[in-house]
């Protein structure tokens, strides 16, 4: 048995310079696991709470209470438990916080603890984390197809443009390694185009170029130009993926694109996105409508669900019940998996399982506030999620996740790359076959 000997926690700092929670778990045999909680900026209303101290110090963002909750409340309950039994460990954490949003302990406290136990259990078995995850949940591991941001926007770029993530995917690549190479070319081609226009103004929170555009659509046009400048034909090997993050600029079925000074109802928003789907090689679109606009999301899925991947992020918040409702309503056809949205590994794995069982695709995702923690690379491989969203192609808290996948590729073999299988229902699958 791999009994937990100690659980300790400390305050560390994330990629935005904000405090966050790091947890260390030591087992009786000396095995060790460590994990750090990430933090979102465009957060869904129904996600697990990040417990912060409030007040004026550190802009209210300190995590002293969350750290103490790990040390004083969660740790003593977990000591002596079997780290291999992730379900019981997470149930013990949940029993300490029956609130629907982990507001008593803090989702930042629970996620770092739950993930650190997962790491310690893998260390005890002397296997990589991805392999432990695959064994625990019974999936066939594979290297994911990355979604990589070229321009940031929305809450990650001072709302300079309304749309949050302008990304590419390279389903036509033969390996994960080749995705990195092609993405490098597109990313720097985009930077060159911006520089030539005198529009290069730094980078956004996730490493994408700062979105110095006159309209949201200009970002799409520039992305297509960058793909071409990189020597690729848009819609062939390289395709576009968007995170609209519509809850950030819409509520109650009304949306306001500040950059265009345009306000519209849900139906007009759906029409606008539909025009973009027709005009650009977009294969995946996240949160096209707001988290409080289920009828919009259902209508969008009815109209476009056969040709494009529709990801629920703020809309589903990695919550099993919300995924079940999405499946029965016909809203979305893909779930974004962010462990810190729900707060424990067990719950996130259950949500993943529910989505895949329903025939949906899934994307394991980072948050906009990240660290050197590479757990999500392993989760994506171990769950066989086939897609991974980490942010852009710059800044170490992003590159560390891509680089970890390259190391895993050395063990798994480059052929074990999920590009062909991922998104089998969508537009580009037809193009590639």
What is the set of active-site residues? 206, 338
Place of tokens 């906009």: 368
CB contact at 8 A, 51 and 109 = yes
Q: Which stretch binds Mg ion (CB under 5 A): 217-225, 238-246, 302-310, 321-329?
A: 238-246
First to last CA, the chain: 48
Least Cα distance to 104 among 378, 343, 396 occurs for 343
| Residue 365 interacting entry, from ligand 2PG, Mg ion, none, C-beta within 5 to 8 Å by type | ligand 2PG
Q: How far is the CB of 201 from ligand 2PG (least distance, A)?
A: 20
Piece of 138-146, 212-220, 243-251, 408-416 that binds Mg ion (CB under 5 A): 243-251
* Complex with Mg ion: residue 24 or 147, whichever CB lies closer: 147
Nearest-approach distance from CB 140 to Mg ion, in angstroms: 27
346 binds ligand 2PG, rule: CB under 6 A: no
Please return the burial class of 9, using the count of CB atoms within 10 Å of its CB with bins 0-12, 13-18 and 19+. Answer: buried
Residue 399 contacts ligand 2PG per CB under 6 A: no
* Shortest spacing between CB 287 and Mg ion, in angstroms: 5
To the nearest 10°, report the CA torsion of 264, 268, 271, 275: -30
Near ligand 2PG in 31-60, by CB under 6 A? 40-43
Contact residue for Mg ion among 14, 97, 243, 370 (CB under 5 A): 243
Alpha helices in 166-237 (DSSP H): 176-196, 216-229
Taking CB under 6 A as the criterion, which residues in 192-251 touch ligand 2PG? 206, 243, 245
14 binds, among ligand 2PG, Mg ion, none (CB under 5 to 8 A by kind): none
Cα gap 399→244, rounded to integer Å: 23
When CB distances are held under 5 to 8 angstroms depending on the partner's kind, the choice from Mg ion, ligand 2PG, none that residue 248 binds is none
Burial class (CB in 10 A: 0-12, 13-18, 19+), 189: buried
111: three-class secondary structure by DSSP: helix
CA distances from 216 to 60, 164, 241 (A): 33, 10, 14
Candidate segments 74-82, 240-248, 343-351, 377-385, binder of Mg ion by CB under 5 A: 240-248
Per CB under 5 A, the segment of 239-247, 251-259, 260-268, 291-299 that binds Mg ion is 239-247
In the complex, the smallest distance separating the C-beta of residue 341 from ligand 2PG, rounded to whole angstroms, is 8
Per rule CB under 5 A, is residue 313 in the interface with Mg ion? yes
Q: How far apart are CA 108 and CA 343, in angstroms?
A: 7
d(CA 347, CA 86): 11
Q: Does 291 bind ligand 2PG (CB under 6 A)?
A: no
Nearer to ligand 2PG, 84 or 365 (CB): 365
Query: In 3D, which of 22, 40, 24, 42 has the Cα closest to residue 32?
Result: 24
Q: Which of 313, 347, 373, 404 binds ligand 2PG (CB under 6 A)?
A: 313
Contact call for residues 66 and 40 (beta carbons, < 8 A): no
Question: Interface mask (CB under 6 A) for ligand 2PG, residues 145-164, using x and -?
Answer: ----------x--------x
SS3 416: coil
Kindly state the smallest distance separating residue 154's Cβ from Mg ion, in Å: 9
Q: Which residues bind Mg ion (CB under 5 A)?
A: 243, 286, 313
């Amino acid at each position: 048995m791999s009994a937990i000997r100690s659980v300790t926690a400390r305050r560390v700092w994330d990629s935005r310079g904000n405090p966050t929670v790091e947890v260390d778990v030591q087992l009786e045999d000396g095995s060790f696991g460590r994990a750090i909680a990430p933090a979102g900026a465009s957060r869904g209303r129904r996600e697990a709470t990040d417990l912060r101290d409030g007040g004026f110090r550190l802009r209210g963002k300190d995590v002293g209470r969350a750290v103490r909750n790990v040390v004083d409340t969660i740790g003593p309950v977990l000591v002596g438990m079997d780290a291999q039994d992730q379900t019981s460990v997470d149930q013990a954490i949940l029993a300490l916080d029956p609130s629907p949003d982990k507001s008593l302990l803090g989702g930042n406290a629970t996620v770092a603890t739950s993930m650190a136990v997962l790491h310690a259990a893998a260390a005890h078995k002397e296997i990589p984390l991805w392999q432990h995850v695959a064994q625990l949940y019974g999936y066939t591991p594979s290297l994911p197809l990355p979604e990589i941001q070229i321009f940031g926007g929305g809450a990650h770029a001072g709302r300079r443009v309304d749309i949050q993530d302008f990304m590419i995917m390279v389903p036509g690549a033969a390996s994960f390694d080749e995705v990195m190479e092609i993405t490098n070319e597109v990313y720097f081609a985009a930077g060159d185009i911006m520089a030539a226009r005198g529009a290069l103004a730094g980078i956004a929170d996730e490493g994408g170029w700062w979105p110095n555009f006159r309209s949201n659509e200009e970002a799409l046009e520039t992305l297509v130009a960058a793909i071409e400048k990189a020597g690729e034909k848009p819609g062939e090997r390289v395709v576009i993926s968007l995170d609209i993050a519509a809850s950030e600029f819409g509520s109650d079925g009304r949306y306001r694109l500040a950059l265009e000074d345009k306000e519209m109802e849900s139906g007009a928003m759906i029409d606008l996105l539909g025009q973009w789907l027709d005009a650009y090689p977009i294969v995946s679109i996240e949160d096209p409508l707001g988290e409080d606009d289920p009828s919009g999301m259902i209508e969008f899925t009815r109209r476009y669900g056969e040709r494009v991947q529709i990801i629920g992020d703020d809309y589903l918040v990695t919550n099993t019940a919300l995924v079940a409702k999405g499946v029965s309503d016909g809203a979305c056809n893909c779930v974004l998996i962010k462990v810190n949205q729900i707060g424990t590994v067990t719950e996130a794995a259950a949500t993943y399982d529910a989505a895949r069982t329903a025939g949906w695709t899934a994307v394991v995702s980072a948050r906009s506030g990240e660290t050197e923690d590479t757990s999500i690379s392993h989760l994506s491989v171990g769950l066989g999620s086939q897609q991974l969203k980490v942010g852009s192609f710059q800044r170490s808290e992003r590159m560390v996740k891509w680089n970890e996948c390259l190391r895993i590729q050395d063990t798994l073999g480059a052929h074990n790359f999920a590009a062909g299988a991922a998104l089998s229902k969508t537009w580009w699958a037809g193009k590639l076959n």
